Amino acid sequence: MKIYTRTGDTGDTGLFGGGRVSKAHIRVAAYGTVDELNASLGVCREAVGVPEIRDGLGRIQNDLFNLGASLATPGSEDGTAKASIPRLPEARIQEMEEWIDAAMADPPELRSFILPGGSRGGAALHMARTVCRRAERGIVRLGEQEAVHSLVLMYLNRLSDLLFAWARLENWNQDVSDVLWEKEQD
């Protein structure tokens, strides 16, 4: 199977279930950023040392593939789509909240803002968190024009919190301190 089709050589792309749009279309930007987030989580999986984080990232990567497929399928929100796309597991929101609570149990309580960084895995998780926030903003923009399931935004909002908590846990487990923000006083 060849991976090139030449059908996008003029700047458009095909959507699941049919139809073509510009590669600059807001829908393509939204699922493209979700794809970028998924790739950054792949980097995180290779960088982190905590097995529970690595396992959780694997589940989330599968979820994000489903989420991206849904965004690439017009009509998936109202049931008019030609293609059948698996939905995000609603129970994952609760599971992510439990993962957040567990991750925040060991590191010291936050008394200051922290800068992205610390260990290699912690820094990678912070980077993924910023990509997650960008994906969320893009999907909000898409939702202003087309239907987007409310679970998608809830999922990404919780995921960014989880990535922050996991960055702190990874730093803690690697015996690397969080990088504290130092406000400079005039």
**Closest Cα partner for 71 from 127, 24, 138, 161?**
138
Cα–Cα distance for residue pair 55/41, rounded to 1 Å: 11
Q: How do the domains of the chain map onto residue ranges?
A: 16-175
The dihedral formed by the CA atoms of 95, 96, 98 and 101, expressed in degrees to the nearest 10: 180
Cα–Cα distance for residue pair 158/31, rounded to 1 Å: 18
- pTM for this entry: 0.90
CATH topology of domain 16-175: Hypothetical Protein Ta1238; Chain: A; (1.20.1200)
For residue 10, pLDDT over 90 is answered with no
Task: State pLDDT tens for residues 104-153.
Answer: 999 988 888 998 999 999 999 999 999 999 999 999 999 999 888 889 99
